[in-house]
Amino acid sequence: QKEVEQNSGPLSVPEGAIASLNCTYSDRVSQSFFWYRQYSGKSPELIMSIYSNGDKEDGRFTAQLNKASQYVSLLIRDSQPSDSATYLCAVDMLTFGGGTRLMVKP
């Protein structure tokens, strides 16, 4: 059975810092990886998808994938209080981690 692991947090960072969120997955043949953001009481929204090893940047967000280590991460640069949310890692569309709660303190 596929598993996706995330540290539940909370991860607390000061405003303006880089937040680093990590995710590991169990199925070596997984092909697609996603990061979603979920504010309290709301549904998830897609932030980024990544399919190839390496980095993918979109604005303040960078997704990093290392298939050999079965590891995917999300970096948020210049973190803002509005980034405070739970970040969900998903593998192959339907397998979700438990989420990491990020708190950005002003």
Residues that bind other proteins (CB under 8 A): 32, 34, 36, 42-46, 49, 51, 88, 90, 92-94, 96-99
Strand 19-25 versus strand 71-76 pairing type: antiparallel
**How far is the C-alpha of 53 from the C-alpha of 66, rounded, in Å?**
5
Based on CB atoms, which residue is closest to other proteins, 20 or 30?
30
**Minimum distance between the CB of residue 56 and other proteins, rounded to whole angstroms?**
13
Q: Answer whether 65's CB lies under 8 Å from 33's CB.
A: yes
**How far is the C-alpha of 6 from the C-alpha of 101, rounded, in Å?**
10
**Minimum distance between the CB of residue 88 and other proteins, rounded to whole angstroms?**
7
Based on CB atoms, which residue is closest to other proteins, 14 or 39?
39
